[in-house]
Structure 1
Amino acid sequence: MAFNFYGPLLLLGLLLSCTATLPVSVSYQRPPPRDTLTIPLSQNSDGLTPQQVHVSLVGENKMRITWITENEAPSRVDYGTSSRKYTSSSTGSASSYSFMLYTSGHIHDVTIGPLNPSTVYYYRDLGQTGWTNSTLQHLGASGYDVLLLPGDLSYADLDQPLWDSYGMLVEPFASSRPWMVTQGNHEIEQLPPMEPNPFKSYNARWRMPYDVSASDSNLFYSFDVAGGAVHVLMLGSYTDYDSSSAQFKWLMADLAKVDRKKTPWLLALIHAPWYNSNKAHQGEGEDMRKSMESLLYDHMVDVVFAGHVHAYERFTRVYDNSGDGCAPVHITIGDGGNREGLAKKFLDPQPVISVFREASFGHGEFLVVNDTHAHWSWHRNDDDEQVLADQVWLTSLVSETTCKN
Structure 2
Amino acid sequence: MDPKPIITVLFLISATVIAAQEYVRPPPRKALHFPWSRKPSSLPQQVHISFAGDKHLRVTWVTDDKSAPSVVEYGTSSGKYSSVAQGESTSYTYMLYRSGKIHHTVIGPLEHDTVYFYQCGGQAPEFQFKTPPAQFPITFAVAGDLGQTGWTKSTLDHIDQCKYDVHLLPGDLSYADYIQSRWDTFGELVQPLASARPWMVTQGNHEKENIPLLKDGFQSYNSRWKMPYEESGSSSNLYYSFEVAGVHAIMLGSYTDNDEYSDQYRWLKADLSKVDRQKTPWLLVLFHVPWYNSNKAHQGEGDSMMAAMEPLLYAASADIVFAGHVHAYERTKRVNNGKSDTCGAVHITIGDGGNKEGLAHKYKNPPPEWSVFREASFGHGELNIVNSTHAFWSWHRNDDDEPVRSDQVWITSLVSSGCVAEKTLELTKILTEP
TM norm. shorter chain > 0.5: yes
Aligned 8 A contact 1:314 1:331 in 2: yes
Q: Name the aligned partner's letter for residue 203 of structure 1.
A: N
Q: Where do 1:102-117 residues align within 5 Å?
A: 102-117=97-112
- Provide the C-alpha distance between the structure 1 equivalents of 2:281 and 2:48, rounded to a whole number of angstroms: 29
Please report the RMSD computed on the Cα atoms of aligned residues, expressed in angstroms: 1.7
- 2:432 is aligned to none
Pick one of 195, 198, 209 that aligns with 1:178. Answer: 198
Pick one of 301, 315, 320 that aligns with 1:303. Answer: 320
Percent identity of equivalent pairs: 61
Pick one of 197, 200, 218 that aligns with 1:199. Answer: 218
Cα separation, partners in 2 of 1:22 and 1:111, compared to 1, 3 Å:
closer
Aligned residues: 388
Cα separation, partners in 2 of 1:326 and 1:121, compared to 1, 3 Å:
same
Aligned 8 A contact 1:138 1:386 in 2: no
Whose relative contact order is higher, 1 or 2, with alpha carbons under 8 Å and at least 6 apart?
Answer: 1
- 1:27 is aligned to 22
Which TM-score applies when normalising by structure 2? 0.87
Work out whether 1:68 is the aligned partner of 2:62: yes
Q: Where do 1:36-47 residues align within 5 Å?
A: 36-40=31-35, 43-47=37-41
Which TM-score applies when normalising by structure 1? 0.93
Cα separation, partners in 2 of 1:15 and 1:296, compared to 1, 3 Å:
same
- Provide the C-alpha distance between the structure 2 equivalents of 1:95 and 1:104, rounded to a whole number of angstroms: 9
- Provide the C-alpha distance between the structure 2 equivalents of 1:92 and 1:283, rounded to a whole number of angstroms: 42
Pick one of 175, 178, 181 that aligns with 1:158. Answer: 178
Q: Tell me, which stretches of 5 or more residues in structure 1 are unaligned?
A: 1-12
Q: Where do 1:237-316 residues align within 5 Å?
A: 237-316=254-333
1:22 Cα offset (Å): 5.3
- 1:81 is aligned to 76
Cα separation, partners in 2 of 1:384 and 1:39, compared to 1, 3 Å:
farther
Aligned 8 A contact 1:15 1:393 in 2: yes
Aligned 8 A contact 1:16 1:395 in 2: no
Q: Name the aligned partner's letter for residue 298 of structure 1.
A: A
- Provide the C-alpha distance between the structure 1 equivalents of 2:180 and 2:401, rounded to a whole number of angstroms: 29
Aligned 8 A contact 2:15 2:409 in 1: no
- Provide the C-alpha distance between the structure 2 equivalents of 1:213 and 1:134, rounded to a whole number of angstroms: 34
Cα separation, partners in 2 of 1:34 and 1:326, compared to 1, 3 Å:
same
Aligned 8 A contact 1:266 1:302 in 2: yes
**SS state at 2:264 partner:** helix
Q: Where do 1:94-133 residues align within 5 Å?
A: 94-126=89-121, 127-133=147-153
Deviations 1:135-191 (A, max 9, x none): 001111102100000000000111111100100000000001000000000001011
- 2:135 is aligned to none
1:93 Cα offset (Å): 1.6
- Provide the C-alpha distance between the structure 2 equivalents of 1:184 and 1:113, rounded to a whole number of angstroms: 30
Cα separation, partners in 2 of 1:81 and 1:320, compared to 1, 3 Å:
same
Cα separation, partners in 2 of 1:29 and 1:271, compared to 1, 3 Å:
closer
Aligned 8 A contact 2:51 2:200 in 1: yes
1:194 Cα offset (Å): 2.1
- Provide the C-alpha distance between the structure 1 equivalents of 2:170 and 2:105, rounded to a whole number of angstroms: 24
